[in-house]
Structures are given as C-alpha cells and as structure tokens.
A and B are shown apart, each in its own frame.
Chain A
Amino acid sequence: MIIFEVLGITRPWLLLALILLPILWFVLRAIPPAPKIRRFPGVSLLLELKDNDIQPDKTPWWLLALRTIIIGVLIVGFAGPFLNPELIENKNTNLLIVMEGSWADAPNWNAQKKEVLQVVEKAKNSGQKVAFLQLTDPNQSLVFSAASDAQKKIQTAEPNAWLPSSGLERLLINLDSFDTYWIGSAVQWPMQSKFTEALLNKGNVKVSKSKVALFGLLPTSFTEQGIEVNGIRLKSKTAEQVSINVMGLDPSGVERNLQIAVLNFKAGMSQASQVIELPKEIRNRITRIIVMGQQSAVGVRIVGENNLRSEVAIISGDVAAREGLKLLSQEYYLAKALKPSHDLIDGTIEDILLANPDAIILADIAKVGAKVAMIDWIERGGTLIRFAGPSLAAKNHDLEKADALMPVKLRRGGRSLGGAMSWGSPKTLQPFKANTPFFGLPTPTEVKVTAQVLAQPSPNLATHVIARLSDGTPLVTQKPLGQGRVVLFHVTANTEWSNLPLSGLFVSMLDRLVSNSTSSSFEPVALIGTTWKLSQELNAFGNLKSVVDRVGIDGQVLVSGGIASKTPPGVYEREKLRWTRNLLQEDSEFKLPIWPSAVDLVGPSASQLQSLMALFLIIALALLGIDILTSLWLSGKFWGMGAAFAALFIFLSFAPGDARAELASDRSLTATRDVVLAYVRTGEVWQDEISSAGLLGLSLALNQRTSVEPAAPVGVSLGIDEISFYPFLYWPITSDQKALTADELQKLNRYLKGGGLILFDTKDANFSQFGQSTIEAQTLQKITVGLNLPPLSLIPQDHVLTRSFYLLQEFPGRHVGAAVWLEASSGRKNNTTETPFGNSNDGVTPVIIGGNDWASAWAIDSSGQPLLPVGTGFSGERQREIAMRFGINLIMHALTGNYKSDQVHIPALLDRLGK
C-alpha cells in the first residue's frame, strides 16, 4: 500500500488496530495510577477505617495521551512502513533483470548485485516471475521462473572481462511481454541501442545508471627516456589524479612494484599521458601496468616480454671457406641460439638492411659492406652485434680511424690464455654489473675463455664494457649509435675461443641484446594459420590467473574477433611466443551510454527501499522510557530508580564518542618515551579489540620476563597516524580491508626501509593450501602489492627468530603449523658487503607473514586471564606459552637487530681469541 507517494506500508491490515486506540483510551482511564506504597506502623489503627470517597485518583490526561501515542506508533511500526515505494502502475507479471557484467561493472559489482537482489526481493513480495540475464555471459537462456531461482543465479554471477556482444536481441524474440530492470554500466557498448529497442518493445524498461569513475590504460609507447603511459576516462569536468603502478620482474625473477606514477587528468579532458622514466633494462622487465585502487580489467595493461618476435639476420664471414665444418661455424651456433624465439633472415647485407631487422649479427667480419646504410639503420634503432674471430683479430686496426661500427678500438692480434705457450689459465666471467643489459643473469663458473681480442686501452674504455673476464679485460663492449647500438663480443660465436656458446648464458645474453631492439609494427598476416593457446587470463577484476586446458584459437580469429567471450584478454602462447592481448586499443575511448527517452532512468539511491519499522519502534521505545520516568515521578519514586535511569540515559547520550580524540602529540610522546607495540586498525571492532588485548598480553609477558618494558599497546590507522615511532606493527588481515592509497604505501615503504617490522597475520592457518588461497590471503596480496618487500622464504630452521630469547622450533599462535614467511637471507649478505652502512634494517626482516592468529593466543582480558581458548587442556596451555615465547622472540628480534644473531658466534670468537 502506498501513501503520499513517499511512504508505503507492508502490512496495511495491521493499521486496523488503530481503531482500538479510543477503546484503549477509556480502558487506560479506568485504571488508576499505581498506588504509592508506604510503610506505616499506624496501619493497625487504620484497619477498620473506610475511605470517604470511592472515586479513585485519576491518571493525568497527558500521560494517557502519551500511552495512546506509544501504542499508535507501535501499531504503525509493526505495519512495516517504508520510504520510496515503487510506483509501478500496471505491473507486468514478468520481470527481466539485466546486468551487463562487463569489465566496466567489476569495480562496483557487489553494489550492483545488492541492488538487483533488492529489486528481486520486491518482485518476490509482489509475486512476479523473474528472469536474470547477464549480457556478457556466454551461456544465456531466458526463462521466467520463481524469484528465488533468479536470486541464486544473481548471487553466483561474476563479471567478465569483455563487453556484451551484438545480436542479444534474438534472445527476446519468442517471449511474451515483460518489464525490465537493467543495471546500466558506465560505458557504452556497440549495438546497445538495438538491444534497448528490443526490450522497450516488450514492456517497461527501467535503467539504474551506475556511477563509477573508470580509468583505462591505452597501449604504452616506448620513448627515449622510458615508457609513456596513456590513460582514458569517462568525460568529466573535474580534474583527477590516478596512481599508476608499474609492475615488473626484479633481477631474481619475482614480480614486484617497479615504479609508481601519477596520471593527471585535466578538467574536461578524457585522456592523459605520462612519461615514466625508466632505464632500458628495467623497461624490458615490465610485465604489467595497473591503475591502483580500481578493480577492473580495463585498468590493467599487460606488457609482453616478447610482444613481438624480433627479426635477426646473421652474416658470417667464413661461409664459403670451410664448408665441410658447418657444424662448427659461428653461424650455426648463433642460429641454434636464436631460432626458438626469433625470426632469422638470410641474404646479403644490402637485402637484409632493406628488410629492416631488429638486429644484425656479424660473425667475424672485419670489413663491413654497405657501411653507410648500416650506420643509418643502426641510428634508426637497430642493434648490430659483432663477434670476434681470426679475421677481426688479424686486421690492422691501428691504421684506421675509429670505426663507427666498432664499440672500441681493438689491438692487433688476440691473446690466448691457458694454452701450451701461455702463462695464464683460461679465464672465467665476472658477475654482470647493474646497468648492463646482462644484469641479473647468472655467470656459470664452467664458462671459460681461452682466447679473445683486446681493446686498446683508452680513458673511456670502461664506459663501453658491459661484460668482463675475471682479470678485468672486456668480454663484451657496446657503444650507442643514434637510437641503436653496436655490441662486440670479444670472442667467437663458436667454441674455438671459449665455451661460452655452449652455455645457456649465451642464449640469454643474445636474447637480452636482441629483445632490447625497438619494436616494429605487428603484422596480422603472419598470424594466418597459427594456433594460440591462452595461458594466462585477465579476469574482469584485473587479476591475471594462469589457466590450463584451453582450446587453441586461430591467430586470425584473435585479430579479427577482438576481445569477446571466446577470446578473453590475457596472455596467449604459441610455442615459445607470448602474445598479450589487452582490452583497449590505441583509439579506444569510453563513451557514456545513450538511453532513449522511453527508458525510465532511476538513480541507484532513489530506488533504495528504506524500511522505517526500526525508526518507529525506536521512537516507541523512547516514548516508553519517558512514560516510565513520568510514572515513577507520579508515584514518588523518581528519585530512586528514575534518577538512575535518567543518569544512565544522559550518560549514554553524552558518552565519549571517539577514543581517538586524544591528541596526536600525546601519542607521539608516549610512543617515543617507552617502547610501544602497535597494531593496525582494521575497521572491524572485534578484531581491533583482539589485537589490542593480544599486544597487551605480549607487553605484559615482556614486562615480566625480559628487560623490555613496553607501555600499553596502541592501534594505528595508516591514513592518519604516524607509524615511524613503533618498532613493531601487528597487522591482522580481515577480508574487507581496502587496498592502500599512494600516501599509505609511501608511508609504509618508508617505515619498512627505516627498520620497522610488520607482522602480517592472515589468521587463516593457511587453511586452503594446494595452490588455492583464502580470502584473507587474497586481501593480503591486494594490500602488499605496492610494498617494497624483499624476496621471501620460509623461515629457516636456524633463523635468529628461533633463538633470540627462547629456543623455539615452531611458531604457533591459535593455530599451529601454518608456514611462516620472512625475508630470504641469501641476498642480504651481498648487500651488506657492498654498502656497510646502507643497511638500516640491521639484519631484521622487515616483514613476517603467517596465518597462525597470534594475537588471539596472546590476548588477555582486563584481569590478566587468557581471553580466548587455545587448543585443549594442558597441550593447549603449552601452545599458548610457546605462542607467547614466539612473541617475545619476535620483539627481541625487532629491537636488537643483528645483536642476537651475532651472539651466536661469540663462543667461536672467544675460542679463537684464546688460541
């Protein structure tokens, strides 16, 4: 039932009870107010007395009115009033729920679902039949059935990383008339108007427009300085800033955050671009570019390692001469190394230059033909790779001026090492330095060089060297030339001078050099007849997930079909090739959907059905409270109970609303005066209480058992509070924590760099192993995506955490046995030797990640008793004790740095001194 267009009533028949109110009035009038009760010894004298007047005292009229109002409010409240009722005049018996479920809907997918479920709930109440249609769903069927079926379908619906396809209107052909409720997404899709038409033909169409700020990433382009990131957004009149996260592999092959940049959208502009300065080597390791804080595939750009197969030409000097020994020729080794992942071109130098390959390899060619054309090609971005050999060594370089096609000037003749006539032994390779193209590649000790050509010593020789032998002589040199470069291997490409070509390193080095070449355009013709297999799929939320067992797809279909349900975005592979397919093209733009005027547009807020039942009942309760107080007052008992009630009432309404009102300066004062353990506020009250109680328990144990005497623990909100005061941060992960903002990231990274320790606790005991991950683990991933975390490893048996105070073998919390991760120890030693004072962490792992729910095991209540049960019986108490010991070890580790780990060596040192 609907009253005044804004108020509806769920159970109108209940309002009939309002008729009872006048009756109630008389009944209430008849009942006198409660008598005062008095103790009076003289009562024995009163016993035989009669009242003069039988007429009792009357209830005051205003109290009667108050009570009548209370009953009235209760009746109206239970009748279920609600705001904003649906005003559908002629409701159809069928209701079609349309959700698009594309990447544009992913950011607010849950909100959309909630809205739709509300609509279905209403339809359920009014007995409508409901069908649910997700436009991007590949298996669509339209059947009107009970609303509960649709609810189930909606609850399991997931968005897809593509837009609805055309031809959807054919689904509607054989259906009777129906009404439609459509959650419109923020972005228009092709053929949308046709589908809208078809729906309008069937009945009313109501569209709920979603309002979400959507940012997309266009293809990136490589420039001199780095990469240019291009973003688009929906047309907006306000200026906006979007953080961009550049993800890539670090030298050890772990994907991490390489750079954070900001895209500035100016007011009124829908495009923005930003050049991110990156060294070429790092640029090649970029895997993904992500719009931070936006859960949509459109904000993710996968950057392929080998977006394109590069073309390489090999020209060898000794082709004709030693035909019989082809298997030993340089060309053969080079072709073997390059063929799996690159295209090889044959021909004369002139022909090859016309084909404009990415790289040309000259194997022991002293005199290069078509020199001018070659230089021109290099300056346009080509990479010339030269290998030494007998002929190059024999050339008299002194006679010539500096050769443009040589990175360095060579000395005549080579040198041989480890032969019968030489003093030296074969040389191995030095590790590759940072800022060289080979940085990060392993240098196997079995690679030995027995002969090489030598560079003329010159002041700037060192700047050209990108790989050295163990005695410091250059092995590979390079020289930039225009946009390209010239690289010289000072050895041959076959095994005559070294066994480098036999090692895997050789292939990697060539790959690095060749892949550095600037990309040329992509040729669809080359894809005809190729079959590609999806290896990693980008889902609508922008997560890249490995997939297996997908049917191969023809390359041409991939090119012509665009992004659709059969050809989702992601990484496709063929043999060793990688092809990344992203949502947006160079010329993509976001268009706002255009709705015909026949469509009934509703904002998401307007259709919110707001129940007023609770409000009415609360009003009734408040009035009842007043009634109690006045009744008490009337019967003269107000100053006993009533005053207590009133005091309680006043206390509740004026209770301090926010404990955070304490001054920041006070916080920093306590935090710096004492050791203070801190936890990150999650926003879940119960979790924060447990964190607080847990750290309180740990602080108490530290006080009792160690010389660490912490003050009361505090909770910090990352966005507001300064965290650098706290040596230790406990961070429980709850499922609905949000990803970090750029400010918070910066703060945390500074904290980690400055020696802080964060204990991440997923509290899930790593419950779902076997490659799955729990919600908490996913949340943890989301949170830590921008953090500068070191490589992690499982906690080693001899880690200092096992002995910094107690000797421990396991680290239980409320759960036992879940793996505990911390910083891998191997890389650390190198760093310390290189920069002795650069390591501010002092050997302390910046993060510890586990799922044992430690705070719950540590938690105590105000009387010092354990708050939560751990395990059962005695073994449970033992487990709690061990958990507490882990906590103590942890704080010791955080506070003492490498002191404790150095203590391990003391006996050995003393022993040695004694000798």
Chain B
Amino acid sequence: MTHQKLLNAGLELAEGWPQLLAQAQSLANSFIAGGHGRRRAGVGDTFWQFRPAQQGDNLRDIDWRRTARGDDKFVRQNEWQAAQSIQFWVDGSASMQFFSSAESKHYRAACVSLALAILLTNAGERVGTVDGKLPTKQGRIQVEEMAKQFSLPTKDDFGSPEIDYFQSQSLAVFVSDFFGDITLLEKAVTAAANLGVSGVLLMILDPEEISFPFSGRTVFESMAGEIRHESQQAGGLKSKYQTILKNRQAILRALAKSVGWQFHCDTTGSSPADALIWLHRALEHRR
C-alpha cells in the first residue's frame, strides 16, 4: 500500500462527507485560524505590547515607529498564539495486517486517522505522530508525510505506542487492535496523562475476530508467526474467546476513563465514517 493511495483514501473519506466537512469547517471557524491566544507575549499575529528594549534584543526587533516617539527604544511584542497539537499512533504491526474482508485493520486505521488529520489540518491544527519521527506541524505536506509514515508496516506481531515523545498539553489519538501487551499501553497512556495529554483509544477489529467462525483441529498463528496456539476443537473456544475479548474491551475502557480519555471499538465491516465521526466528536470536547 503506497502512502499516496492511503492519502487519497483519507482525502476521499474526509471530503466525501460534506456534513463532516461542514462540521469541521464550523469547528475551525470557532478558532482563530487554529491559534489559541495564550495571553502573554510570544509568536503570534496580534499585537500584545511594547516593551523597552533590553540588552540582547535583536536590532531588527526594535519597533522604530514607537521608538521615534520617545527616547527609549521599544520592542514590539505580539501575543503568543499556539495551535492545538494532535499526535497520532496508528498501529502498523503485523497483527493489524489481518483481513477477512476487503480491507485490513491497518488500512482502516490509517485511513480514518488520515481523514481526521486532514480535517484537523484544514482547521489549522498541528498534527504529528507519537513516535517522534514527525513532530507536530501544520499543513497538507505534514499529512502526506504522515501517510508515508503509516504505509510502513513494522515487523512486530503486536505494537505499542512510544512514550518518550509526547508533547505536553497536546491531544493523542491511539488507533490499534490493542491485542498486544496491555501493560505497555497502560504505561504509555499514564505517561501521556502525566504530561497533560488527553486523547482517545480507537480499537479496530476484523469481523472474524469478533465472530470467531473456526472449527476442527486448528493451529492458530500470530501474523508474524511468533505465537502459536493449537486447538483440537476450535469450535469449542468461541464463547470463551468472545468473553475474553469483551474483558479486554472493558479493561481498555476503564483505562481510558481513569485518565479522562475516551474509548471506542470499530470493525472493518462497518463504514469508516462512523469511526471518523466518533473521533471528531471525541476530540471536539478536548480542544
């Protein structure tokens, strides 16, 4: 899957839903070009104050018009404006490559994430990835970089988000099947929450992973073949498996709740717009 294709899919998803786009536009309008006034001097467009020039100020920073009115030299300062940063983690592990129907979980995850990223960029937000390879930036080019990043799957069976590159006060979007080690996820979520990051967990599952339509003597292998489980009568495992899956979802929901995040489960069998709408709603409250 080339990143271009992925990007196009994301674009389509984003643009194919006018109400979504309209919502995004209205959302965007409620912010001033995505910038949030921080009520102190900094990088921004709006005038904040003149202050006397101090040693170390650049010559070019001096506002000559104001300085000409008096004897002192003044420096013009603008109000610091910062856009909201949203960091994405799209699980690219082998487990996400599984598919029983038309598209794999990873494709769905990447597609929904990109659509969201496009909407957010349109709204002037900064987007990036959790792993630190793409620090948050604005603009379409950043979205394309992300698409490139998503189309590189990893070799591991199961994935977990990196914990070292969270931006404080940003938003985090974790998209995965969360079949990996739950403690690693817990660690990451906690680390993020400690930095004031709030976010969402989006679980993507294949329909077969929910219905478990297997029977007979079967050896189950993880996608990279690292884990095997042999069952003499796979049919008998169905109900047990489904219970465990429900437990896992409950654990994830509890984890999200404990740090004020949100959790949602989506399947590749349903429409991708559902997930997108949910994601957008979930983030709306956070920004």
The interface residues of chain B lying within 8 Å CB-to-CB of A372 are none
> Nearest-CB distance from A33 to chain B (Å)?
7
- Does chain A have a CB within 8 A of B260? no
Report whether A51 and B218 are in contact in the complex, using a CB–CB cutoff of 8 Å. Answer: no
- Does chain B have a CB within 8 A of A548? no
Report whether A44 and B227 are in contact in the complex, using a CB–CB cutoff of 8 Å. Answer: yes
- Does chain A have a CB within 8 A of B219? yes
- Of the candidates A40, A41, A47, A48, the one having the most CB atoms from chain B within 10 angstroms of its own CB is A41
Report whether B158 and A46 are in contact in the complex, using a CB–CB cutoff of 8 Å. Answer: no
- CB-contact partner of B241 in A32, A38, A41, A46, under 8 A: A46
- Does chain A have a CB within 8 A of B248? yes
- Does chain B have a CB within 8 A of A175? no
Query: Which residues from 26 to 61 on chain A have a C-beta closer than 8 Å to any C-beta of chain B?
Result: 32-33, 35-49, 51-57
> Contact residue range for chain A?
20 to 34
Main DSSP-derived SS at the B contact region:
mixed
- CB-contact partner of B217 in A32, A45, A52, under 8 A: A32
Report whether A57 and B228 are in contact in the complex, using a CB–CB cutoff of 8 Å. Answer: no
The interface residues of chain B lying within 8 Å CB-to-CB of A51 are 231-233, 236-237
- CB-contact partner of A41 in B223, B230, B231, B240, under 8 A: B223
> Nearest-CB distance from B160 to chain A (Å)?
13
Query: Given A41-B98, A44-B158, A49-B237 in contact, is the A36-B231 Cβ separation under 8 Å?
Result: no
The interface residues of chain A lying within 8 Å CB-to-CB of B208 are 40
- Does chain A have a CB within 8 A of B47? no
Report whether A35 and B98 are in contact in the complex, using a CB–CB cutoff of 8 Å. Answer: no
Report whether A38 and B220 are in contact in the complex, using a CB–CB cutoff of 8 Å. Answer: yes
> Nearest-CB distance from B165 to chain A (Å)?
26
The interface residues of chain B lying within 8 Å CB-to-CB of A46 are 220, 229, 231, 237, 241, 244
Query: Which residues from 103 to 145 on chain B have a C-beta closer than 8 Å to any C-beta of chain A?
Result: 105
The interface residues of chain B lying within 8 Å CB-to-CB of A45 are 179, 241, 244-245, 248
The complex places the Cα of A55 from the Cα of B226 at a distance, in Å, of: 27
> Nearest-CB distance from B106 to chain A (Å)?
11
The complex places the Cα of A57 from the Cα of B212 at a distance, in Å, of: 19
Report whether B236 and A53 are in contact in the complex, using a CB–CB cutoff of 8 Å. Answer: yes
Query: Given A49-B237, A49-B241, A53-B232 in contact, is the A36-B222 Cβ separation under 8 Å?
Result: no
- Does chain A have a CB within 8 A of B18? no
The interface residues of chain B lying within 8 Å CB-to-CB of A52 are 233, 236
The complex places the Cα of A898 from the Cα of B217 at a distance, in Å, of: 83
Report whether B221 and A43 are in contact in the complex, using a CB–CB cutoff of 8 Å. Answer: yes
> Nearest-CB distance from B134 to chain A (Å)?
26
> Nearest-CB distance from B35 to chain A (Å)?
42
Query: Given A38-B214, A40-B222, A57-B216 in contact, is the A47-B227 Cβ separation under 8 Å?
Result: yes
The complex places the Cα of A182 from the Cα of B214 at a distance, in Å, of: 74
Query: Given A40-B220, A41-B222, A45-B244 in contact, is the A57-B209 Cβ separation under 8 Å?
Result: no
- Of the candidates A33, A44, A52, the one having the most CB atoms from chain B within 10 angstroms of its own CB is A44
Report whether A57 and B220 are in contact in the complex, using a CB–CB cutoff of 8 Å. Answer: no
- CB-contact partner of B177 in A41, A48, A49, A55, under 8 A: A41
> Nearest-CB distance from B185 to chain A (Å)?
13
- CB-contact partner of B179 in A44, A54, A55, A56, under 8 A: A44
- Does chain A have a CB within 8 A of B180? yes
- Does chain A have a CB within 8 A of B198? no
- Does chain A have a CB within 8 A of B95? yes
Report whether A41 and B209 are in contact in the complex, using a CB–CB cutoff of 8 Å. Answer: yes
> Nearest-CB distance from B231 to chain A (Å)?
6
The interface residues of chain B lying within 8 Å CB-to-CB of A57 are 216-217, 232-233
Please name 29 pairs of A and B residues whose Cβ atoms are closer than 8 Å in the assembled complex, sorted by A: A35-B219, A36-B216, A37-B219, A38-B219, A38-B220, A38-B221, A40-B220, A40-B221, A41-B209, A42-B179, A43-B220, A43-B221, A43-B227, A44-B157, A44-B227, A45-B241, A45-B248, A46-B229, A48-B244, A49-B244, A51-B231, A51-B233, A52-B233, A52-B236, A53-B233, A53-B236, A57-B216, A57-B232, A57-B233
State the 5 A-B residue pairs at the shortest beta-carbon distance, nearest first: A41-B95, A52-B236, A35-B217, A43-B220, A57-B217
Known interface pairs A41-B209, A43-B220, A46-B229; 7 further A-B residue pairs with C-beta atoms within 8 A, sorted by A's residue number: A36-B219, A44-B157, A49-B229, A49-B237, A49-B240, A56-B232, A57-B216
